[in-house]
A and B are shown apart, each in its own frame.
Chain A
Amino acid sequence: MKLKQSDLWMGLAILAAFFVLAWLPLAPGADGWLSIVVPITMYTVLATSWAIFSGPTHYVSLATAAFFGVGSYTLALGLESLPYPVLLIIAAILGAIMAALVGWATLRLSGVYFVIFTLGLAELTRQVFTWYQNNMGGTRGSYVFTDLTDAHIYWQLLALALLVYLVGWLINRSRLGFAIRIIGGDESVAKHSGINVAWSKIVLFMVSGSVAAVVGAILAPRFVYIEPSMAFNPQLSFMVVIMALLGGTQRLWGPLMGAIPFAFVWEIIASNFPAQTTLLMGVAFLLVVFYIPNGISGVLIRWYHKARSKPGVSHE
């Protein structure tokens, strides 16, 4: 399929936006609000890559924390022996391998088993790392000493976000993207159309897992000291799901629409009700699922169609 003129303009607009965003850390007083901008960028990358797999397949993955943690630990454990960029690549590969194994083992099963398995996976990896550090490593946690500041982390996340959008866009235009939409619509039709259902799902899950692992590696220096309960925090997985669903998973830009508002809301919740965060996260989840099942992007798309077409014609 040829590149449309509108795609080209969209691409240029996105590049321009990233260029502007890249100057953010140089603005006056940036240190203060980088502390909220870094998590927003992180969650945008995680939720967008989560939606690349879970959006079309409707398989809700709670494994983000597992990939993230493996990425963080790759960096923490390898920092003394290997150069930093190599560690990012290793994190990406480990994330992809882990996703392939999990996918191979579970994606043949129905959705519910997959959700439970991915939730268990994060816990399992956490326990394995804890056990290893207790019995073999000598210490509980690891120090991550680098010269990287919040600005460096932000720039890396921004570059990764650009890469995720590019990959997501390419997938959407590809046979694989078409295959995964058919699979999400009706697996039986997909099989009878000649689609390798398991393989398609595994490839997309690998993309998603690999990105989450790289995010974990990039974020590790920010923790300075990491231990399993931080690196494999299940709350991260739930946050990603809520943000992606709040934003909507039908478009690539959907999760962004969820990550930005929810990160601010979460900041308010965490500072005012530190003891009730889990409860309030559950409430947020219910509100999203009940009131905006197609997310903010879904609402925007509906308004757009309403404005364009005659009244009464719905595109739901």
Chain B
Amino acid sequence: MEQEVIPFKDFIIKKMKGQLIGIPLILALVISLSTSLIIIVSFANSDKAFVESVAPHIATLLETQDRPEIQRFVRAISTKKGAEVEVIFNNEIIASSFSLERIGTEFEKGIISLPFLDLKFNAGKLMSFTIARRENGWGGDKALIGIYLNWTPVIYLSLGISFIVFIFTFFVIKWPMMKIICETQLSLKHLSLLEEGISKLQNKFEATEIPPFPISELESIRSAFVTSQSKLSETNEKLAKSKAKEMASYAYKNLIHDLHVPVTALRNHLKIMGLERATQEDRENALKRIVDLAEQVLKQVKSARSHLGLEVLLKNEDIVESVRKATNNAQIASFDKPNIEIRAVLPDEKLMTSHDSILLGRALSNLITNAIEAASKQVQVELSKIEDGVSIKVNDDGEGLGQEEVSLHLQGRGKSTKNERMGIGLASANHIIRSHGGKIIYQSSSLGGACFEVRLQGDSV
């Protein structure tokens, strides 16, 4: 079963809902029950205190065996106190306000004492006993005055008061609990802020966007995260520089490789010039060829010099924006081709990728401008996220190029049939893309012309 993922705030409320009701309920119940017990006990004690005050007199009446007077007295006490009273002597009821039939009968056995209370249960009735004793004289455990608690008013009263106490206590206890939960929720705001900050930082790292927190654990997390991000950024820069050097070295290698063929041809032609058996015509051709080759070498060196001067600065930025700008720039530059329709197919969301927005923009502009030049009606720029990076395709519906020709152009050696710019543009674009660790793939376009696809790796430079 899939676990439900909910915000921390909701999680806390969900977890504490039971306690929020349960704890006040239990506490209020305990307090109200205690209150009603206290009421019952205090009632019983008040009755008992009254009986205690008349006990010496009852002791005297018992001593003089004046039971009619005891009975009248017991009846009077009962009427006044609203509680039933019995006098028990030698376990025999000798006076009762309950029922005259009980007089002369044995007092019930099986009295249950209530723990911690001076009360006893007898046949479902709550009662307390007082020994009928006269000071310095008659009396003993044999003579008892039992007073039965008058349940009805006590129960109504204790129920009423307990109910009020219950309601009051419930809310009084619930209030601080709610307060605690509210405070807990409030303190979680910092966690949310941290979460939000981190989330933002994933898109665009700016250390100042996460303010410091008053909670040490959160602050440690923030600080650790910010430090890691900063270090990661520094490392990225170093890596980029190292990559750039590598790229430069690679470019040199390419240059050397690219120059090897014309320079060898140049040497061979120079050899021809020096050969005795070479005809005048041969020498003229060689000379003509030497001039061409020298120009080509010069052009390649020039091109390489300009490329090697570029220094790529990678940043984790929105490539969608960079592609959009590059498309616009190319469109503006090709104002003399207003009949060419340029379509940009871009994702709606930001796509954060490490790149140098200026140089990549220039490279893309070159590709798009070339496409506009070559197109007969339309150019389509398409940006999409692929498995390990991004793909930017620039399509046109022109005549297209041969694979070999493209390769020469990418090396900066090709001769454009239309103008020079294209060759320079492609070689430059190629150099920039390579400096990003990416590559340019040439393929036939679905529009019928050429398609230059730029592939950049997403999380590495």
Please indicate whether A and B come from the same complex rather than being unrelated chains.
no
- Residues of B with Cβ closer than 8 Å to A? none
